[in-house]
Amino acid sequence: MKIIRKIALTELQTLFFSPVAWLILIVFTFQAAMAFTDIFGMYVRYQDLHYTLGNLSITFFGGMSGLFTRVQEYLYLYIPLLTMSVMSRELGSGSINLLYSSPVRNSQIILGKYLSMLLYGLVMIAILFVFVLWATFSIKDFDFSLALSGLLGLYLLICAYAAIGLFMSSLTSYQVVAAMGTLAVLAVLNFIGRFGQEYDFVREITYWLSIGGRASESINGLICSEDVLYFLIVASLFLALSITRLKAVRQKSRWQLSVSKYIFIFMAALLLGYFTSRPTLMTFYDATRTKQRTLTENSQQIIQRAEGGLKMTVYVNALENTMWNGLPRNRKNDMARFSQYIRFKPEMEVKYVYYYTNPGDPGLARRYPDLDDARIVGLICRSADLDSTMFLPPEEINQIIDLAPEKYRFVRLLERENGQKTFLRMFDDIQRYPSETEISAALKRLVMELPVIGFVTGHGERDFNNESDRGYFRFSQDKPFRYSLINQGFDCMDVQLSEAVPEKVTILVISDLRNPLPPDEQARLDDYIARGGNLVILGETRRQETMNPLVERFGVRFLPGQLVKYTHEEPKAEGTPAATKKQDVARPTVGGVTATRLNQFSADFIQSRLTKEGKAISYIYEIMYNEGNVVTMPGCVGLEYATDRGYNVTPVLTSDTLDSWNELETTNFVDDTVRVNPAIGEVVKPYPTALALTRAVNGKEQRILIVGDADCISNSEISMQRGWVPAANYNLIMGSFFWMSDNEVPIDVRRPTPPDDEIFMTGTGAKVSKVLLMGLFPLLLLASCLFIWLRRRGR
| SS3 per residue for 258-322 | HHHHHHHHHHHHHHHHHHHCCHHHCCEEECCCCCCCCCCHHHHHHHHHCCCCEEEEEEEECCCCC
- Give the burial string for 673-703 (b: 16+ CB within 10 Å, else e): bbbbbeeeebebebbbbbbbbbeeeeeeebb
State the 10-residue block means of pLDDT for the chain, 795 residues long.
Answer: 89 86 94 95 94 94 94 93 88 76 85 94 96 95 96 97 94 91 93 84 87 93 95 96 88 82 93 90 93 94 91 96 91 92 93 94 88 92 91 95 94 93 94 94 92 94 93 95 94 94 95 93 95 95 93 95 74 39 41 44 90 94 94 94 94 87 81 81 90 94 96 93 89 95 93 93 91 93 85 70
The pLDDT of residue 179 is 92
Alpha-carbon distances, residue 46 vs 63, 201, 672, 758, 771 (angstroms): 18, 48, 47, 11, 20
φ and ψ at residue 171, rounded to 5 degrees: -90, -20
pLDDT of residue 794: 67
Bridge partners of 583? 676
C-beta neighbour count of 631 within 10 angstroms: 27
- The pLDDT score that the predictor gives to residue 568 is 53
Q: Are 299 and 287 in contact (CB under 8 A)?
A: no
Reduced 3-state DSSP string for 623-645: HHHHCCCEEEEECCCCEEECCCC
Query: Is residue 222 classed as helix, strand or coil in its secondary structure?
Result: strand
Which pLDDT score, from 0 to 100, does residue 556 have?
96
Please give the C-alpha separations between residue 767 and each of 27, 41, 45, 625, 774, in angstroms, as whole numbers: 20, 7, 11, 38, 10
The 3-class SS string of 162-221 reads HHHHHHHHCCCCCHHHHHHHHHHHHHHHHHHHHCCCCCHHHHHHHHHHCCCCCCHHHHCC
Determine contact, residues 562/669, Cβ cutoff 8 Å. no
| pLDDT for the residue numbered 641 | 95
Q: What region does 53 belong to: left with phi over 0, alpha with psi -120 to 50, or beta?
A: beta
SS3 (DSSP) at 64: coil
d(CA 32, CA 123): 14
Query: CB neighbours of 709 closer than 8 A, spacing ≥ 6?
Result: 538, 539, 540, 606, 633, 634, 635, 636, 637, 689
β-pairing, 648-654 vs 605-610, is antiparallel
Say what the pLDDT of residue 234 is. Answer: 96
CB 695 within 8 A of CB 647: yes
